[in-house]
Structure 1
Amino acid sequence: MENDMEAQREKRPLKHLQGLKGRVQNSLSGFLRACIVAVLVAFQFAILIVLPFLLRQYASLFYLVMELFGVFTILALTNDSRSMSYKYGWLCITILLPVSGNIMFALWGKVGKKNKLNRRIKSTIQSVDRHLEWHPEVSDEFRKKHPVSSRMSRYMEANGAPISKNNEARYYDMGENAFEDLFADLERAKKYVFIEFFIVAEGAIWDKMHDILKRKIEEGVEVKFLYDDFGALLRTSTDFAQKLRAEGFEVEVFNPIHKYTSKLFMNFRDHQKILVIDGEVAYTGGFNIADEYANLVDRFGIWKDEGVRLKGDVVWSMVVTFLELWAVCSKNEAIDYERYRAEKTSIQSDMYCHVLRDGPALDTRSFVGSMYKQMIHYAGEKMYVMTPYLILEEAMIETLLEAVRRGVDVRIITPHIPDKKHIKYMTEYNYGILLKNGIRIYEYEPGF
């Protein structure tokens, strides 16, 4: 397997010529699809902006309605439980664009809490969480062994993330190193494979995975494949899902891009990366199914996304996490979870694990964001952070500065080559206050 990956890297120029026609067709079809959506959305925005000029004879009445709309917006933001940065963002939009800004807030301002998909996710999670396994004896044991860390553990359990023991984990500092083991584990699949990723791109990595999965389906292995529509935009053909279904895959697409502004939840995406094999092995991390994550193509220099391979009791939480969103997208909550339970693990270890899930459907307060703050708060000597985006709220900045004042050695690594230039500017904007207060910041020069 390692030789195969090395051969692919050595033949990068040739790889781009293979299947070039199909790649170009996929890119063009995705580009046209994106353009059509953009034109339709722009047309509707134009109507929203031009409408006041067409109603000039009713200007007084129209602007009275807009003033009332503004009052509604302020009241709605005041009562919203989300962060102040979220509220300030919408206030700036409605102040700068008093007409279209208020209309945009009416369309999208409550997307995170009120849209139909979000409500369905919350309802499904509430019914599915009963399938998680809780181990009070493990919680007590962990509390006695690790009294400080157990505070965070209790918080995680209170937010639906049970602790487990008897686990093994293999860490990959580069995504490209994970694929070799991942493909080998797929070859050993006997019952089922669950796949959930944000980005899916047709290329060498997908071709390899696709070939293995097709063979496994022919052998009777059940394959469920869930991906985000926005993450696959421009990276797959328009009939990608249909072709997979014809080959025996079970496929669901999360939150398809819609042409109507009221349904254009561009930022309501599924960023989970999960791959589970027979309930015995699970992969997660930052890598997606695309060639850049294996450094087979050069997009932004050397791509550094990490991953982890899990075995043991923790895998069941990964199974439940996948099936939660699968039930939402398939609109089928009558799933027999016991079908997917593996035999009791033979692993005996003191590795304790939680599986954290977060998102607007779970809690607008951001459970994972709170966890980061707690980890920083409990840091005693050092805290090293590596992140592609350093976009910080005021509360997070203050938490970091408090750690420095306690004498904690805080270091942050960000990429030197960005994937989005405007995000790079925002990241660098945050450098000033952090550097001024003693936080050391480094950039990963080889790439992203």
Structure 2
Amino acid sequence: MNERDNRESWFSEHPGNLKDELKGRIENSLSGFLRGCLVGLLVLLQFAIIIILPFILQNVTIYFYIVLEIFSIILVLNLVNDNRSPSYKIAWICIALALPISGHIMYLLWGKPDSKKKIERDILRIMRHGFSYAIHDKQTEEEFYLENPSQRRISRYMSNEGFPLYKNNQIDYYPMAEDVFRVIFEELEKAEHFILIDFFIVAEGGIWDKLYEILVRKIKSGVEVKFLYDDFGAMIRTEKHFKRKLEQDGFQVRVFNPIHKYTDKLYMNYRSHQKIIVIDGNIGFTGGFNIADEYANLVERFGIWKDNAIRLKGEAVWGLTITFFQMWEVCGGYTMVDYNKYRPTAQFPESKVYCQVISDGPANNPNNPIENIYKQMIYYAAEFLYITTPYLIIEDDMKEALIAAAKGGVDVRILTPYIPDKPHVKLITNYNYGYLLKNGVRIYEYTPGFLHAKTIINENSGVVGTINMDYRSFYLHYENGVWICNNEVIQTVKEDLVSAMEESHEITYEEWRSRPFFMKVKQAVLNMFSTLM
């Protein structure tokens, strides 16, 4: 039986639910856990050394505290003159006041704007190579502006940030990750030239078993497979020699930001949260899902896991290809790639589905284009604005934008999980409800389980991708998404979100106010550290 017969046989025999076809499991790697613990201990050691210094140097304690006071003044002056958001500055001042020793250390490691400037400059320099392949078609832009004058400003902003506008696209939207994985398997089987894969979390299990089996066969048939993943996202859920085994099987593998590499600066806190699959330059996938069985509900962790994704076929796939190779080159140092080898191999039919592939990361701080794109989508909404996010930890200006939209008559709704994956982050998410609810924003909790989808849509356009509505996505993670302008696609996404809200619980302001007193206290304390979560 040849490869094509194998493919057709498997899919003809497995037409139904993935849960009936693949055996889900959760595996944890002891070596990965120990590696994480070791790095964590090294970080804690940095804190401990300075914290115990006053006790070791008792005779000079007064001088130590004088120096500490001087550092506090310098920290406050730095923050006051920083061009980042007011809520960011206030949070760091509170941390420094509440934790006079460790708070200063945390600021030096996490918050100081120039603490990682050299690393970020190097990353931006490498990424500029990728942007040189992002060709802007002026004719497409002018055509789009004439057809969609209300979207001219936001589209032009994205173009000026290096994200070209593409037409001639076809987009299929998938409301659950199990829906998209079946299509991914089918499309991978058709690959003839190359496959590009980039994920935050890679976990061994039923999904990985099937994906791995397909990729190994494709490599043996001559298909080039480049596989990129985040070290933190994979180390606990994969075996000790995971990378080495893949390389022995013919994969080209790179790992983003090994967690032990920058323990002195905690750059390990900056992760690649991107999710991208590109097949022959013609088909692309992105969304909130990762390569793990819980995302496809093969195993249950937090009730029903709702994610979403899109399959993109058309000119915009080139934007996903560029985003992939930018991160690939960042992980490879100074080894540059000829992107032209990975251009689309198909001709795409004419289509009025316009897209711009967006990406972002901490190297851009504090001027993050994705956060500005989200704000503009809020500002330009006239009829409705629907958002799904597993974490709602937003700054004051974003809250004010949402409230201004609601008070202006826009139907503003936010959908978050009922069952959280991180209870402490759920507390801060809930804490952020109050001001929004009081001022007309409607908030729903997805009662079947954990909602992990990352979506924002208004009546004209939307973004589906990897971006959470929180500080970590806007400032600490490398993210990606696809901005879509097409009424039919937006209507499909809207119908899914409305359906999810119908099986969710709408939180009222009175309900939020009546939460237990002890919960309010915990939320107030945790909120002080919201920029670190």
TM-score (norm 2): 0.79
Instruction: Give the alignment partner of residue 427 of structure 1, picking from 413, 429, 441.
Output: 429
1:145/1:7 Cα in 2 relative to 1: closer, same or farther (>3 Å)? closer
State the match for 1:88 in structure 2: 90
Matched, 1:389 2:399: no
Post-superposition CA distance 1:390-424 (Å, at most 9, x none) = 11211111111111111111112111111111111
Residue type at the aligned position of 1:62: F
Cα distance in 2 for residues equivalent to 1:266 and 1:384: 33
Cα distance in 2 for residues equivalent to 1:309 and 1:236: 27
Contact 1:124 1:333 in 2 (8 A): no
Post-superposition CA distance 1:159-195 (Å, at most 9, x none) = 1111011111110011110011101111111111111
State the match for 1:359 in structure 2: 361
Post-superposition CA distance 1:54-92 (Å, at most 9, x none) = 112122332232223223322322333322222222211
Deviates more, 1:217-226 or 1:361-370: 361-370
Q: 1:7: Cα distance to partner?
A: 6.6
Q: 1:107: Cα distance to partner?
A: 2.8
Matched, 1:235 2:252: no
State the match for 1:40 in structure 2: 42
Cα distance in 1 for residues equivalent to 2:190 and 2:300: 31
Contact 2:126 2:334 in 1 (8 A): no
State the match for 2:60 in structure 1: 58
- Give the superposed CA RMSD: 2.0
Q: 1:10: Cα distance to partner?
A: 3.7
Deviates more, 1:289-298 or 1:405-414: 405-414
Cα distance in 1 for residues equivalent to 2:40 and 2:284: 37
Q: Give % identity.
A: 52
State the match for 2:274 in structure 1: 272
State the match for 2:19 in structure 1: 9
Aligned length: 440
Q: 1:241: Cα distance to partner?
A: 0.8
Cα distance in 1 for residues equivalent to 2:89 and 2:281: 42
Q: 1:108: Cα distance to partner?
A: 2.8
Aligned with 2:358: secondary structure? coil
Q: 1:5: Cα distance to partner?
A: 7.6
Instruction: Give the alignment partner of residue 160 of structure 1, picking from 134, 159, 162.
Output: 162
Cα distance in 2 for residues equivalent to 1:82 and 1:117: 19
Mapping of residues 328-347 of structure 1, within 5 Å: 328-343=330-345, 345-347=347-349
Cα distance in 1 for residues equivalent to 2:37 and 2:190: 42
1:34/1:343 Cα in 2 relative to 1: closer, same or farther (>3 Å)? closer
Q: Return 5+ residue gaps in structure 2 as ranges.
A: 1-10, 451-533
Post-superposition CA distance 1:350-401 (Å, at most 9, x none) = 1111001111212413211111111111111111221111112111111111
Contact 1:41 1:259 in 2 (8 A): no
State the match for 1:216 in structure 2: 218
Residue type at the aligned position of 2:407: R
Contact 1:275 1:284 in 2 (8 A): yes
Post-superposition CA distance 1:323-358 (Å, at most 9, x none) = 111111011443111111123523210111100111
Cα distance in 2 for residues equivalent to 1:303 and 1:402: 32
Deviates more, 1:36-45 or 1:245-254: 36-45
Matched, 1:282 2:292: no
Cα distance in 2 for residues equivalent to 1:122 and 1:323: 13
Post-superposition CA distance 1:250-289 (Å, at most 9, x none) = 1111111117641432430111111101111110011111
Cα distance in 2 for residues equivalent to 1:113 and 1:366: 18
State the match for 2:477 in structure 1: none
Contact 1:112 1:360 in 2 (8 A): no
State the match for 1:136 in structure 2: 138
Contact 1:107 1:261 in 2 (8 A): no
State the match for 1:78 in structure 2: 80
Matched, 1:190 2:200: no
Cα distance in 1 for residues equivalent to 2:196 and 2:66: 54
Contact 1:172 1:307 in 2 (8 A): yes
Deviates more, 1:91-100 or 1:260-269: 260-269
Mapping of residues 169-188 of structure 1, within 5 Å: 169-188=171-190
Q: Which has the higher strand share?
A: 2
Cα distance in 2 for residues equivalent to 1:107 and 1:426: 23
Contact 1:8 1:15 in 2 (8 A): no
Aligned with 1:303: secondary structure? strand
Aligned with 2:359: secondary structure? coil
Q: 1:445: Cα distance to partner?
A: 0.8
Cα distance in 2 for residues equivalent to 1:7 and 1:344: 31
Aligned with 1:346: secondary structure? coil
Residue type at the aligned position of 1:157: S
Cα distance in 2 for residues equivalent to 1:156 and 1:263: 31
Instruction: Give the alignment partner of residue 309 of structure 1, picking from 304, 308, 311.
Output: 311
Q: Return 5+ residue gaps in structure 1 as ranges.
A: none
Cα distance in 1 for residues equivalent to 2:110 and 2:181: 38
Residue type at the aligned position of 2:192: K
Cα distance in 2 for residues equivalent to 1:174 and 1:329: 31
Cα distance in 1 for residues equivalent to 2:147 and 2:154: 14
1:130/1:75 Cα in 2 relative to 1: closer, same or farther (>3 Å)? same
Residue type at the aligned position of 1:319: T
Contact 2:109 2:266 in 1 (8 A): no
Matched, 1:204 2:206: yes
Cα distance in 1 for residues equivalent to 2:238 and 2:265: 22
Cα distance in 2 for residues equivalent to 1:391 and 1:167: 33
Contact 1:281 1:315 in 2 (8 A): yes
1:82/1:4 Cα in 2 relative to 1: closer, same or farther (>3 Å)? farther
Contact 2:115 2:265 in 1 (8 A): no
Q: 1:298: Cα distance to partner?
A: 0.2
1:260/1:279 Cα in 2 relative to 1: closer, same or farther (>3 Å)? closer
Residue type at the aligned position of 2:88: Y
Cα distance in 2 for residues equivalent to 1:44 and 1:145: 57
Cα distance in 2 for residues equivalent to 1:427 and 1:136: 42
Mapping of residues 248-267 of structure 1, within 5 Å: 248-258=250-260, 261-267=263-269
Post-superposition CA distance 1:216-250 (Å, at most 9, x none) = 11111111111111111311112111111111111
